[in-house]
């Protein structure tokens, strides 16, 4: 009954020649959007595939296929493909759905140079991991980050603490430091402890237990700025310019800038994998960041 | 109930961030240890070209950056995320400074003077302002 009613409305409200209203009418129904997504994701789809994935009656599918006649076409192999307009509709859905679901930024925020720069510096595909191939890239990157972190922490003799680096967290006796690659090991420990704290806080405060593995896989991206900072720090050391006051100030400023970039990447990760709003992601990261520092300062005292 | 509303209004008052930034800035010119201001210590360090000299300017830089962030959100509340990131960078300067001071000069902390306490209170105020900006927006949106 509902399908028939909709069909009547369709013919009444939509002039078949009116491309624009047809386009938006086609996108106005959840099943039709899903149809476009299924065909768009796979390149084509058979009737059986559509029926299996949509879990609706044959009549309903035929009805929606008819409504989508300008967006979907059936070719000689009996499979359904997207027309040029269908491709446009599919792209439109894909581009907008995540923004609509998350609704994290006010338009002004997005237009601001700071956020635009940060978005430009965000390896979005590696964090979002839309397909298996990118997932493998993401795993490789995380392992690479760990290896580079270990190497650079060890050769620069610097201790990582959350997103900050300092050589004064020397709580170990020098004999142990010389005998054991403690700085490198600290980088790995810091990586996993940081992940566990963030994951635990998400579960505890926001009840977000999903996507833990994906979050772990892309967690390495957070440390990309740290690695770049370590490279700079290494260059300052080998050129022996680190003792110059201006260079040391530059070194510290670079650390703060890269730390802010890391924090942004953490926030983006939380938004993608834990479905947190940007405000919540910021609150969580700032609390962990400053909480961690307060603890270490109290211990140091 | 009325008391609660009053308290909420008081806490939501953005001026907290401005006060925090000002405290951070003026702490630079107040005595920290043994009657020396950070500016004095900076002058001594820079005259000997000691590597860490610029570190003693960080509370001042932190205060200025945090003030910029707070003023930004004060003028245009739509730029809240930008303001929070700017404040985070500002507090990063202070955090780095305090981290170096505490870990290397911890014996002097016991004799810290008014400048030290002003800076700590300032940083805490800025931090609460950042949280307040984020929480307030969350409440306005009625989303969690």
Cα A28 from Cα A22, distance rounded (Å): 10
Q: Looking at residue B10, what is its pLDDT?
A: 57
Q: Is a pLDDT exceeding 90 seen at residue B48?
A: no
Mean pLDDT for chain B?
80
Task: Tell me which range, A117-121, A150-154, B80-84, is most confidently predicted by mean pLDDT.
Answer: A150-154
Mean pLDDT within A50-74: 86
Torsion angle defined by CA atoms of residues A51, A56, A59 and A61, in that order, rounded to the nearest 10 degrees: -50
State the pLDDT confidence band at A3, using cuts at 50, 70 and 90. very low
> Which SS3 state, helix, strand or coil, does residue A116 take?
helix
Cα A256 from Cα A163, distance rounded (Å): 9
Q: Could you report the per-residue pLDDT of A255-280, keeping only the tens digit for each?
A: 889 988 999 999 999 988 888 888 88
List the end-to-end C-alpha distance of chain A, in Å, as a whole number: 75
Q: Where are the domains of chain B?
A: 16-141
Task: Provide the shortest C-alpha distance from residue B85 to chain A (in Å).
Answer: 7
Q: Looking at residue A12, what is its pLDDT?
A: 44
Q: Could you report the per-residue pLDDT of B76-96, keeping only the tens digit for each?
A: 777 888 888 899 889 988 988
Residue A218 CB neighbours (<10 A):
26
Cβ of A245 and B78 within 8 Å? no
Give the chain A residue nearest B104 (alpha carbons).
A168
Q: Where are the domains of chain A?
A: 2-102, 113-300
| A109 vs B contacts (CB less than 8 Å) | 78-82
Closest residue by Cα to residue A267 from A279, A250, A255:
A279
State the pLDDT confidence band at A222, using cuts at 50, 70 and 90. very high
State the ipTM, two decimals. 0.76
Residues belonging to chain B with any Cβ–Cβ distance to chain A shorter than 8 Å: 45-46, 49-55, 57-58, 76, 78-82, 84-86, 88-89, 91-93, 95-96, 98-100, 102-104, 106, 109, 127, 130-131, 134-135, 137-138, 141, 143-144
Which has more confidence, A114 or B27?
B27
Mean pLDDT within B33-54: 81
Are B58 and B97 contacting, i.e. CB atoms less than 8 angstroms apart?
yes
Cβ of B103 and A169 within 8 Å? yes
Q: Could you report the per-residue pLDDT of B10-26, keeping only the tens digit for each?
A: 556 678 888 999 999 99
Mean pLDDT for chain A?
82
Closest residue by Cα to residue B24 from B80, B83, B68:
B68
Cα B121 from Cα B108, distance rounded (Å): 19
| A277 vs B contacts (CB less than 8 Å) | 138, 141, 143-144
Closest residue by Cα to residue A290 from B103, B120, B107:
B120
Pairing of strands A80-82, B31-33: unpaired
Q: Looking at residue B142, what is its pLDDT?
A: 43
Q: Which two tokens stand for residue B84?
A: 């929070």
Q: Which CATH class is domain A2-102?
A: mainly alpha
| Lowest model confidence (mean pLDDT) among A13-22, A50-59, A245-254, B32-41 | A13-22
Interface with B, mutate which of A244, A267, A279 (most B CBs under 10 A): A279
| Lowest model confidence (mean pLDDT) among A95-104, A265-274, B39-48 | A95-104
Are A86 and A68 contacting, i.e. CB atoms less than 8 angstroms apart?
yes
| A208 vs B contacts (CB less than 8 Å) | none
Report the predicted TM-score, pTM, of the whole model to 2 decimal places.
0.70
Mean pLDDT within A164-173: 66
Which of A109, A169, A300 shows the shortest C-beta gap to B81?
A109
């Amino acid at each position: 009954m509902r399908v028939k009613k909709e069909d009547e409305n369709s013919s009444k409200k939509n002039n078949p020649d009116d491309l624009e209203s047809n386009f938006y009418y086609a996108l106005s129904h959840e099943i039709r959007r899903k149809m476009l997504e299924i065909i768009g994701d796979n390149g084509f789809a058979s009737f059986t595939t559509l029926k299996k994935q949509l879990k609706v009656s044959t009549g309903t599918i035929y009805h929606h296929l008819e409504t989508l006649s300008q967006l979907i076409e059936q070719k000689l192999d009996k499979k359904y493909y997207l027309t040029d307009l269908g491709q446009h509709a599919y792209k439109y859905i894909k581009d907008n759905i995540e923004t609509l679901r998350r609704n994290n930024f006010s338009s002004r925020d997005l237009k601001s140079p700071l956020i635009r720069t940060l978005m430009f510096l965000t390896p979005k595909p590696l964090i979002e991991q839309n397909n298996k191939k990118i997932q493998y890239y993401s795993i490789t990157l995380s392992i690479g980050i760990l290896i580079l972190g270990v190497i650079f922490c060890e050769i620069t003799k610097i201790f990582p603490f959350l997103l900050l680096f300092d050589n004064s967290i020397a709580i170990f006796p020098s004999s142990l430091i010389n005998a054991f690659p403690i700085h490198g090991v600290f980088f790995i420990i810091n990586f996993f402890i940081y992940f566990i704290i963030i994951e635990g806080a998400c579960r505890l405060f926001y009840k977000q237990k999903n996507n833990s593995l994906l979050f772990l896989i892309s967690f390495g991206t957070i440390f990309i700025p740290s690695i770049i900072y370590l490279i700079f720090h290494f260059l300052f050391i080998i050129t022996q310019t680190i003792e110059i006051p201006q260079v040391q100030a530059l070194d510290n400023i670079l650390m703060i800038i890269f730390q802010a970039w890391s924090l942004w990447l953490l926030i983006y990760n939380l938004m993608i994998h834990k479905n947190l709003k940007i405000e919540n992601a910021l609150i969580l990261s700032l609390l962990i960041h400053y909480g961690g520092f307060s603890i270490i300062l109290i211990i140091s005292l | 109930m009325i008391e609660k509303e009053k308290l909420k209004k008081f806490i939501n008052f953005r001026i907290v961030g401005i006060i925090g930034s000002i405290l951070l800035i003026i702490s630079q010119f107040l005595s920290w240890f043994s009657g020396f201001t950070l500016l004095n210590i900076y002058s001594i360090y820079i005259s000997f070209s000691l590597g860490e000299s610029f570190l003693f300017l960080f509370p001042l830089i932190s205060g200025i950056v945090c003030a910029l962030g707070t003023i930004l959100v004060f003028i245009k509340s739509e730029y809240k995320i930008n303001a929070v990131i700017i404040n985070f960078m500002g507090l990063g300067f202070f955090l780095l400074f305090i981290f170096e001071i505490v870990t290397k000069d911890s014996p002097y902390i016991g004799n810290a003077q008014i400048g030290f306490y002003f800076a700590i209170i300032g940083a805490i105020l800025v931090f609460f302002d950042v949280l307040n900006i984020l929480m307030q927006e969350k409440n306005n949106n009625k989303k969690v």
